[in-house]
A and B are shown apart, each in its own frame.
Chain A
């Protein structure tokens, strides 16, 4: 980019800063609401207003057609890069925004399909282009416009949307905010359905946060035994009553909105009968949608606990018969040792 405004040091500085920004990807922040009318747009524009008051260069690249007065108040004075109208559909003018080079770009309503003939098919792909150009984007979306939530939306609302955004796009966001305010406007949705949507939105963002926490911890070399989410580990042995443990594990995981894991530590000298029992258990674990893994290790107790600590397990389910299934060594039965050494993890022992 040529520096044509060299007489104005402020403008020069802005241009240098803009060039630097372009070298790195813009930050993406998403406001997630559980229904329309909960005030996502207001939250989005209100943050835009506050950033602008703090001296950031903010522009609006897309708005919803019918905004309420509070939104109108929040966007007063914020520059707008008008959308282009293609076949009556508003499309973000990506080139114009990039040429304008703001620090932050506001896109109210992420789930739009661009009409045929547009450069990109989806609005979130436009947003992606802005991010790649080094422009930070703040945007908003409703739960029912997430691709993976269509089945849920159909169940709760009896309807689905075709213009959707994949969950992976949310996962890549630098920040996701849940807008949990009570619905102000008339949403046309029954209270019970609203509650179901609210719950789902909260859990969805909690899961995004959890994944981000995990990767942060991993990047910093910290083990993930944090207990922010319940994670249940079922230890399968050939003789254990795995069906009951897995059913209970699934139910517990569901009640806590947690995760279920099932592992088996390989042992030598298994009879053909044991091997068959084990295969049955693995099939059961699969039916309960557990993360399944077969582990090897000379010391089964150590192997289980290492796995548990690495995966942030909060509860270990074992069968009573763990007392006998591995040869007793010094320091008590394997069950004794598991209980003694399961630092920070609950151990639930199941009857035969």
Chain B
């Protein structure tokens, strides 16, 4: 083993808010600068999108050829992680961090490939847009009207050694789009009709800046220290207990938003975060197969976001939850109202009411259903 393999590689993320803001361009510019300084840099994956200025930036940099993955009779190109490992450069440039690999690839997600490179001691430069961050998924939908499918768990971005905001004003971006720099004309027209509305871009840009600021802040020393709990706020000193959040998972689709929101709040408050589901019977006989699947998915989703998740058994669901919360020093319980259907809504409200009533010594947060958008941005 060489020295390089003993240390983990450094990860640097170029964060933007839309296609065409210049993430890849800036990443390649940095790669060239590194090369000029004698660093061994290769391109592991680069998506040119036919953008001439960007393509010009890649010239003179060595590229590790992509691999072909066969899927359903088609052939797809993916990053060849093994080939990069064999080549073992000091730095690898890997575009589009949140990309999902075609089925049949060794790993599901590109960020998992990146982790393999980092583990081998290779530094990685990569790009992503803020809307791909898992915990922002509902907020992005709420504020920008965009539902993003390829997401990346927050802890993955949190592990980055550096996050740099690549800024371009929405006006400049729209100009670029109109000039055909970002997409060919037909695609540009579609983009302008859908995603590239100025108000949407402004909202996404603000979110990206706040995310980048958060990334900088959470890398400042002292950030691991617990914050004083609410009661001791301002006083400092001995009341400095960590907050503990408990997320109540159900088979209802609203649980996904609850998990994302809980994760985000926990990260910002530097709080611990647990999740539970309470079943009335050990064999889940009270659930339909579909609801059982949903529940399984939600538990896995929470675990994927590094939330410790458990299933408890209890006859009285609300009492079991509150009892567990007390035993584990929970300071805040997160619940959702289930998706509205007249009767459900009434029951859900009764359930929430009961939790609120029983957990009189704790805070209870009823997480909003952000899937229903109240106001849309003007066209």
**Chain A CB within 8 A of B162 CB:** yes
Query: Which segment of B41-49, B54-62, B91-99, B355-363 sits at the interface?
Result: B355-363
Query: Which segment of A146-154, A259-267, A342-350 sits at the interface?
Result: A342-350
Contact of A247 among B221, B230, B378 (CB under 8 A): B230
Let me know if B167 and A179 touch, CB within 8 A. Answer: yes
- A48 to chain B minimum Cβ distance, whole angstroms, is 13
Residues of A within 8 A of B221 (CB): 192
Residues of A within 8 A of B157 (CB): none
**Chain A CB within 8 A of B132 CB:** no
CB within 8 Å of A: which of B365-379?
365-370, 372-375, 377-378
- Interface bin, chain B: 35 or more
Let me know if A251 and B209 touch, CB within 8 A. Answer: no
A332-B349 in contact given A180-B167, A199-B217 (Cβ < 8 Å): yes
* Complex CA–CA separation, A315 to B373 (angstroms): 16
Query: Which segment of A79-87, A115-123, A333-341 sits at the interface?
Result: A333-341
Let me know if B360 and A351 touch, CB within 8 A. Answer: yes
Contact of B345 among A195, A333, A340 (CB under 8 A): A340
- The total of chain A residues at the interface (CB under 8 A) is 62
**Chain B CB within 8 A of A205 CB:** yes
**Chain B CB within 8 A of A352 CB:** yes
Residues of A within 8 A of B378 (CB): 220, 222
- A195 to chain B minimum Cβ distance, whole angstroms, is 5
Let me know if A344 and B369 touch, CB within 8 A. Answer: yes
Contact of B210 among A203, A220, A250 (CB under 8 A): A203
**Chain B CB within 8 A of A74 CB:** no
Residues of A within 8 A of B362 (CB): 351
Contact of B165 among A180, A216, A348 (CB under 8 A): A180
* Complex CA–CA separation, A229 to B362 (angstroms): 26
**Chain B CB within 8 A of A75 CB:** no
Residues of B within 8 A of A349 (CB): 356, 363-366
B199 — nearest CB in chain A belongs to which residue? Answer: A216
Let me know if B165 and A344 touch, CB within 8 A. Answer: no
**Chain A CB within 8 A of B249 CB:** no
Given pairs A222-B378, A320-B356, A351-B360, 7 additional interface contacts (CB within 8 A): A180-B212, A205-B209, A206-B213, A226-B142, A248-B363, A255-B268, A255-B269
- The 24 listed contacts between A and B (C-beta, < 8 Å) are A195-B219, A198-B216, A199-B216, A205-B209, A212-B202, A213-B202, A213-B206, A216-B202, A225-B375, A227-B143, A228-B206, A248-B363, A251-B230, A255-B227, A255-B268, A309-B374, A332-B349, A332-B353, A335-B356, A344-B368, A346-B365, A346-B368, A348-B366, A351-B363
Residues of A near any B CB (own CB < 8 A): 29, 174-182, 192, 195-196, 198-199, 202-203, 205-206, 209-210, 212-213, 216-217, 220, 222-223, 225-229, 244, 247-248, 250-252, 255-257, 309, 315, 320, 332-333, 335-336, 339-340, 342-352
